[in-house]
Amino acid sequence: MRNLLLAGVCAAALMGNPALADDIKQGGEMTVTYKDDVSTLDPAIGYDWQNWSMIKSLFDGLMDYVPGTTELRPDLAESYEISEDGKILTFKLRKGVKFHNGRELTAQDVKYSIERVVNPATQSPGAGFFATIKGVEEASAGKGGELSGITVQDPHTIRFELTRPDATFLHVMALNFAHVVPKEEVEKHGADFGKNPVGSGAFKLAEWTLGQRLVFERFTDYWNEGLPKLDRITFEVGQEPVVALLRLQNGEIDVPGDGIPPAKFVEVTNDPNFKDLIIRGGQLHTGYVTMNVKMAPFDKVEVRKAVNMAINKDRILRIINGRAVAANQPLPPSMPGYAKDYAGYAYDPEGAKKLLEQAGLGDGFSTELYVMNTDPQPRIAQAIQQDLKAIGITASIKSLAQANVIAAGGEENQAPMIWSGGMAWIADFPDPSNFYGPILGCGGAVPGGWNWSWYCNEELDKKAAEADAIVDPAKAAEREALWRDIYLKIMEDAPWAPIFNEERFTIRSERIGGDDKLFVDPVHIPVHYDQVYAKDVQ
């Protein structure tokens, strides 16, 4: 076995962050706002924009990323080893890590947490990420709770045996779904664990008043000495983004979690008073319209292609003030495997009408388009609605809270179409496989899953597994080419209409400090709350 990463790397990475310099003092508070309430803080279940960062603040996993980068580093793991054939990974855990209830975290907790995620009873949208662990297939079929591929060798050593080499497994161990929970707290609260979270993270939950606010307090026994810097974070929910921006200007809040309202974007970005407070960052992001292939008439590929050809993406880009580029495939341009020579479906309403005629729907049809109710998403949905109307498709808009749209997408026969804006895919980890498994693969087409098109191509699943079995860095180009072919085949089947690849803009108050990379992350975490600090206590 070869040792790939040693304990000192994590400390070195942290010390390289200017926000963690020795002269940054402990103390202070921060207030963050969101329009919608949070549905859960259970890492096995939570999978939307605002709760992802909150969960990361309450829980830890074996792996993590250097903030603001795509560079992996150990977190709860002190070190790890990978066997020569790539099928066995052994992690050494840090000693002395405590849960918020005071108990020490052990390898048995890691085992329990992963097994809980893949248990069908949990209905975790992240279960598919762990498919390569030996025994997951049997567990997913309800044939056993424990996984044969996870072995606790001692209280601080855990071993994973995979069914095949998996180039993404370390990334998976950095996902919130792999964060560690204490069994006794899960059993104590049952289905309400997501409202009573207990982890080992930098903060612990102090208060949750539904529909109003959540309060996180610093966990004084946190294993990573010196973190977090803030004593308290208050998340206020039910705040309209325009109101949140006004409150930021008045010094009442520090971070509007929903970002700069589109209607105020030009005004804010041109205001010299905001010049040093706006943070812009690229993201591994794609916004798209899903079409449920199990619901007629979207079970016909001609209809799905017609929708692709009907949508005027340039008009949608104008709605969001040009904060994105038009997309023609699931992968964003900066992701390995992106097909630069692929043109996609051109905007062609007349061609779309001909496809509907070929499908026997020349007179059109009626359907529903689900959308998150935060601006500009309803306006984008209205633009899509008008484009569809021009080719004979009458789409009524169902504008709902984010959690309700996500829930509808996770039901096999509920949402014919979904505009993913506000929930659009931002890579969980920087690898082309991440745009496949959870949102386009068979593993994500399950109740509670994120594959809202319910598209399942078993042949592509096999090719995806083949691609992820290529772990040799010297064969990276071969792996990327295989992924390229997979996504081009998906576009032939057209379960999506890719719309745009968006950049992220965040704004913060003058009193909150930290490296800009902490606020805009290229992967999925918009804010590393554990590492920002209050300037007014320095």
Cβ(10)–Cβ(73) below 8 Å: yes
Cβ(279)–Cβ(506) below 8 Å: yes
pLDDT tens for each residue of 96-137: 999 999 999 999 999 999 999 999 999 998 998 898 999 998
Distance CA 430, CA 63 (A): 14
Element (H, E) at 523: none
| Helices marked H in 47-191 | 49-58, 107-118, 136-140, 169-172, 183-189
Model confidence at 303: pLDDT above 90: yes
**Poorest-confidence range of 37-51, 88-102, 444-458?**
37-51
pLDDT tens for each residue of 214-232: 999 999 999 999 999 999 9
Model confidence at 140: pLDDT above 80: no
pLDDT tens for each residue of 315-353: 999 998 888 899 999 999 888 899 999 999 999 999 999
Model confidence at 3: pLDDT above 60: no
DSSP character at residue 90: E
Model confidence at 7: pLDDT above 60: no
Beta bridge partners of 90: 81, 159
User: Which candidate, 386, 367, 417, 371, places its Cα nearest to that of 310?
Assistant: 386
User: What is the mean predicted confidence (pLDDT) over 423-436?
Assistant: 85
pLDDT tens for each residue of 450-476: 999 999 999 999 999 899 888 877 888
pLDDT tens for each residue of 232-254: 999 999 999 999 999 999 999 99
pLDDT band at 6 (very low <50, low <70, confident <90, very high): very low
pLDDT band at 2 (very low <50, low <70, confident <90, very high): very low
Residue 16 has what pLDDT? 40
**What whole-number percentage of the chain has pLDDT above 90?**
72
Angle between helices 377-389 and 301-310 (to 10 degrees): 110
Distance CA 247, CA 32 (A): 11
Residue 282 has what pLDDT? 66
- Both tokens of 118, joined, read 């893949």
Model confidence at 48: pLDDT above 90: no
Average pLDDT of the chain, as a whole number: 90
User: What is the mean predicted confidence (pLDDT) over 434-450?
Assistant: 92
Residue 521 has what pLDDT? 67
User: What is the mean predicted confidence (pLDDT) over 264-281?
Assistant: 87
Query: Residue-wise over 419-446: b if at least 16 C-beta within 10 A, else e?
Result: bbbbbbbbbbbbbbbbbbbbbbbbbbbb
Residue 532 has what pLDDT? 92
**Higher model confidence: residue 417 or residue 425?**
417
Q: Identify residue 254 by its one-letter amino acid code.
A: D
Residue 42 has what pLDDT? 98
Q: What is the dihedral of CA 334, 380, 410, 416, to 10 degrees?
A: -120
Distance CA 306, CA 390 (A): 11
Cβ(452)–Cβ(197) below 8 Å: no
Half-sphere exposure of 199 (CA within 13 A, CB side): 31
Could you report how far apart the first and last alpha carbons of the chain are, in Å?
47
Cβ(75)–Cβ(222) below 8 Å: no
Residue 20 has what pLDDT? 46
Residue 523 has what pLDDT? 61
Residue 505 has what pLDDT? 82
DSSP 273-301: GGTTTEEEE---EEEEEEE-TTSTTTTSH
pTM: 0.75
Residue 283 has what pLDDT? 76
pLDDT band at 14 (very low <50, low <70, confident <90, very high): very low
Distance CA 51, CA 56 (A): 8
Residue 258 has what pLDDT? 87
Beta bridge partners of 443: none
Half-sphere exposure of 48 (CA within 13 A, CB side): 25
pLDDT band at 18 (very low <50, low <70, confident <90, very high): very low
